[in-house]
Amino acid sequence: MEALLLSASYIFVAFIANTLRFYVNGYINRLIFVMSTVLLVLFEQWFAATSHTSWLLLFVIAASVVSFHFSGGMIAAALASLYLWGMTGMLELSIYAAYFLFAGSIYAVRYYVRKIRQQRDHWLEILTINSKQLNVTKDVSQAMQQTFNTKRLLETILTSMTAGHGLGYNRAMIFLLEEDRTKLKGIMATGPVRAEEGFEIWENITVNRYGLADLINKKEEEKSDQQLNEIVQNMEIPLEQQSFLKNVMESGSPILVKKINEDDELMKHFHSTLNLKEFAVIPMLHQGVKSGVVMIDNVVNQKPLSMHDVDIITPLATQAAIALQQASQYETIERMALKDGLTNLYNQRAFQQSLSEEFCKRAFSIILLDIDFFKNYNDTNGHMLGNEVLVQLAAVITNSLRGDDLAYRFGGEEFVILLPNTEKDKALMVAERIRRRVEETEFPKGELQPGGKLTISLGVSESDGSLDPFDAVEYADQALYEAKENGKNCVAVKQGA
């Protein structure tokens, strides 16, 4: 019967303790746990025939150490000693000493376990961050391999830094060094201007589980971050004046700003314009060449930044610098591949591409021209002087065109002009203007040409958009042949469609 009552008491105490702990704070919860062990000792003393109080008090001491650390264990050991002395009336110093030794041992074990757990959590956090950083670096590297488009590259890098995907910062901004290297220009930014806007964006991303590519495409479709982008893109920061950005560009070292420097006017401007309080600035540096800076902050969640965050962003800033250099080199090569090396006009390859573009599906006209008696000129004056004439002629053509007209060197002494959204009559006016200006221009040794001057012949064709562009070129060539047959130094037209 006594055993049954004791078991029922244990069950009752456990039930009450577990029920109450869901309705109280952490401190009261721990107190309930300790008092439950005290009640179990009292129940055992009341209902058990044989008292085991002296060793059951060890549970009270252990519960006190677990709940209230070293001080709680020592207090519990002292109270247990007093309780046992009062209950037995005997001074048992060895048991009292054992209580204190037990409390110290339990605390030592608990401290060791806690340190092991903290180290485990610390390394787990580092591994998680490193894993995330590696995944972001991989995503960025893959995106960089798929395009040389500067805008797309910058969007990829900025998106990988921010809270929607990747490293979890609220905002990221890129400022690039201008060609004259005297100022920084705001290029692109991602993130909210206001904290409220940031929470809405995060909720949307969480619900839809967007990845890096999804976010970049979404930005392009919806033109998100437009307000922040407009603010940043309107910023031009001269580097002649002393400022935190000038220091970063000169030193090539990142900085972490914890508090706005009231003596730095530029920093105060960023604070008032973008609500920038605590932020990091990382230079975009590759092989000693500085191309700009990346700025990050946590305007929404106000999470503090540290130099560890700077170390995380630095590889991405370096990737951005590499990507920009590669994109610039690619654009230079691509531009060179589409330009004529002598006249600096677009070449025939560029002309072939233009004929395949969308605007040729609308009304357009073509002017094809070449120099009259140019073989005679080269035979008389030499090819070197002939090249000078080609360069001079290209300048005359360029200066005679309207804003949307495009001039190409078709090959040899032949040039072609593409006139978008232009009907035949206007194209004839442009052609005649070019012919007249060439006739009035003094070219080297031009007086040795037949007629005493260097002249050109021009052929014009027109399309309403239904004609194949290459057929329009053929019609212009036929018109040019007709101009040659009509005595040269004139314009002829061939109707296309």
The pLDDT value recorded for residue 467 is 83
* Domain ranges in the chain with CATH number 3.30.70.270: 348-495
Nearest to 9 by CA among 42, 33, 31, 34: 42
Query: Quick check: helix, strand or coil at residue 311?
Result: helix
- The first and second tokens of residue 103, run together, are 């409390």
Both tokens of residue 208?
């839809």
In angstroms, rounded to a whole number, what is the distance separating the alpha carbons of residues 338 and 333? 9
Residue 6 CB neighbour total at 10 angstroms: 16
- In the numeric block, the tokens 């179990």 are attached to 40
At 91, phi and psi to the nearest 5? -95, 100
Give the C-alpha distances (Å, rounded to integers) separating 424 from 262, 405, 475: 65, 14, 13
**381: amino acid identity, one letter:** N
Rounded to a whole number of angstroms, the CA Rg of the chain reads: 41
Q: What is the pLDDT of residue 289?
A: 84
Contact (CB, 8 A) for 460 and 431: yes
In the chain, which segments carry CATH 3.30.450.40?
Answer: 149-334
**Structure confidence at residue 34 (pLDDT):** 74
Topology annotation, domain 348-495 = Alpha-Beta Plaits (3.30.70)
The pLDDT of residue 80: 84
CA distances from 123 to 126, 167, 168, 174, 329 (A): 5, 18, 19, 32, 41
8 A C-beta contact, residue 408 and residue 419: no
Which CATH code is given to the segment(s) 149-334? 3.30.450.40
Q: What is the DSSP string of 415-435?
A: EEEEEET--HHHHHHHHHHHH
Task: Measure Cα distances from 380 to 412, 446, 456 in Å.
Answer: 17, 11, 18
The DSSP code for 225 is: T
Q: Of 212, 224, 69, which is closest to residue 144 (Cα–Cα)?
A: 212
Q: Where are the alpha helices (DSSP H) in 223-306?
A: 226-233, 244-251, 265-274
**Of the candidates 373, 375, 455, 369, which has an alpha carbon nearest to the alpha carbon of residue 419?**
369
What is the predicted pLDDT for the residue at 267? 93
Residues of the chain with pLDDT under 70: 1-27, 29, 43-51, 140, 143-148, 163-166, 195-225, 357-360, 496-497
Render 357-371 in DSSP notation, one character per residue.
SGGGGS-EEEEEEEE
Percent of the chain that is helix, strand, coil (3-state, to 5): 60, 15, 25
Give first-to-last CA distance, the chain, whole Å.
113
Q: How far apart are CA 359 and CA 273, in angstroms?
A: 41
CA atoms within 13 A on the CB side of 44: 16
